[in-house]
Copies of this chain bind each other. A is one copy, B any other.
């Protein structure tokens, strides 16, 4: 399914959250849910959920709720994770290794196929079944595996350089763990994993 481009990115950003909640409900053996139940689970209003989903068609009948399996498959298609994407990870320090071992990728559309580091002590290491390659070979390896998605887990001062290299080699989606904002061409998407921005969003609400 091709992306419908006039849908706000903020709506797209909520679809993976809905998908994760549906996965959890399905894992618990449930077959039907409602926007009300999903909303309570996620702290999002049921009206918001219905409105978000209505961008993509009709997924449930008034009063009968959503068939979890069906809605889940539809969301996977919309997000293009009904097939598996090859992902590279650059930086095999604590964080890169933790990400390589992360159990949450399985069955959710992603497989780490290549890992890179510039440290001779790490090159050649096996991390969760992936052999760490020399960062010098990034461009040819990215091209050889036709990798469009990469995760950057290098120290902040190297992140922009790595970003430029992989974008030149064809990467179009970057998940950046380094605590800096990356500069990329318009055709490239960047998402950030920065625990501090999440923490700061919560301290706003803390009292005493």
Contacts and interface: CB of A to CB of B under 8 A. Distances in A.
Interface of A: 2-3, 9-10, 12-13, 15-17, 19-21, 24, 41-42, 78-81, 85, 87, 93-95, 97-99, 101-105, 108-110, 148-149, 151, 155-156, 172-173, 175, 179-181, 183, 189, 191-208
Contacts of A194: 16, 20, 104
A201 B13 contact: yes
B20 A204 contact: no
A35 to B, nearest CB: 16
B109 A101 contact: no
A151 B202 contact: no
Given A98-B98, A104-B195, A196-B109, A85 B179 contact: no
A171 to B, nearest CB: 11
A6 to B, nearest CB: 13
A191 B81 CA distance: 23
A11 to B, nearest CB: 10
B206 A80 contact: yes
Contact of A207 (B3, B97, B98): B3
